[in-house]
Structure 1
Amino acid sequence: MGKKQIMLPANEVDLTAVKYVPEKIEAPHLTGLWFKLFVKVMEAPVIGSLIASHLKEKNGITEILKNTVIPEVPMFIPQFPLQEPEPGVVCLEEDGKPEERVALALKCLPHYDPTCRWSSDSGEPFQFRYWKIRDYGYAYRSKLTTPSMVAEHFISAMEVFNSKQQSAPLLISFDPEEVRRQAAASTQRFEEGIFIC
């Protein structure tokens, strides 16, 4: 490896005293068919890289790039303005305790009001809604319903659905007795105070 050449910073260079001396570059002068052939050879996987490295070394490009130190600061440094904290955004610390992180995450969830799930404006109790795990867990713990009652509602709904002309046996296949057995075991767990969810 050659000796490093340290250049002057651009603001210290006296442009009136500097004369531009063009470098003598040695490269093949090709046109036409010979140029096409040279391009094909240069694009070849092994031969092309060997020819390119030979031409770079012959013309001093490698020496200029590797052995020259240019003491210039970058012309562009990306700087981003400080962002205002967004409302409703909570930042979790990665090094924080898991309990604190869960507590912060729970604050981000919408307020859960179970009464809206169990009352309706039309006066009909238990109208159809898309229940989530949270709704079922609340209903089971507060003894508003049991897994056995939910299973019976599901089985009766499937019997009504299957009695229609266009049943959907491919969509839902289940054994009613197995569903009842699992629901009874789940109901017993909730009565004993063993909550899974």
Structure 2
Amino acid sequence: MLADRSLPASDEVEEGDYLLRAPANPVYRGLKLKLFINLVVEGPLFRLFRGNIAKRLGVPQVLSKVDIPEAPMFVPEHWPLPVDVAGTVSVPASASPKERLEAAIEVIPNFLESSAAGRSPHRPGLREYHRAYTKGTCTPWDVASRIVKFLKSKPTYIFISWSGDDILRQAQESTQRYKEGRQLSVLDGVPFTIKDSIDAMPYETTGGTQHLHSWYSLGSRAATDWQHLCLVGF
């Protein structure tokens, strides 16, 4: 951005007293409010009235096209952190999604082998799915078929968008990989849902609201999160 002027750095400015003032806010209702918005706020006259409105609100000046020579606050002040904690595993930035997942599983002692103490049998987790798939007690196709049957049996508003054919296709491919012993990862074939603010091509993204529906992608993009999950068979 081209700046018309530049402000001095904060350490070069003498700090003054904070003046607490009661702002004289203009009050508009009904037709006056509509005219004010249409003619002033959204019209070419806003620049003429902006300074006067700001002063009435207690704002001494309005900054526009001004360079502020300050470091951005979102830059980490203590980065990178020293990795000296026992058991900490460092994963290189160039690692693939599968390599990152394997590194995460390795730092959990006996995660896939230990028993699921206290877990309800009606709420299986990653460990239970992986164990059942590898032992052959059930397949991703069996799980996906029950999910699709449930979704078709009664109207549900849990999911914005879903496709039974796509779910079964992915489950069939995952089942075949397990039969051939070439599953993509421990997440292969595990059912999951994704938040409606993440582009998951080919499903539409509405952002969870009809008001912003047209602002979001309609199944034309795939977010990085979604792509990585697909690469590990999730």
Q: Give TM-score, length-normalised by structure 1.
A: 0.36
- Bigger Rg, which one: 1
More helix by share: 1
Bigger relative CO (Cα 8 Å, ≥ 6 apart): 1
Q: Give TM-score, length-normalised by structure 2.
A: 0.31
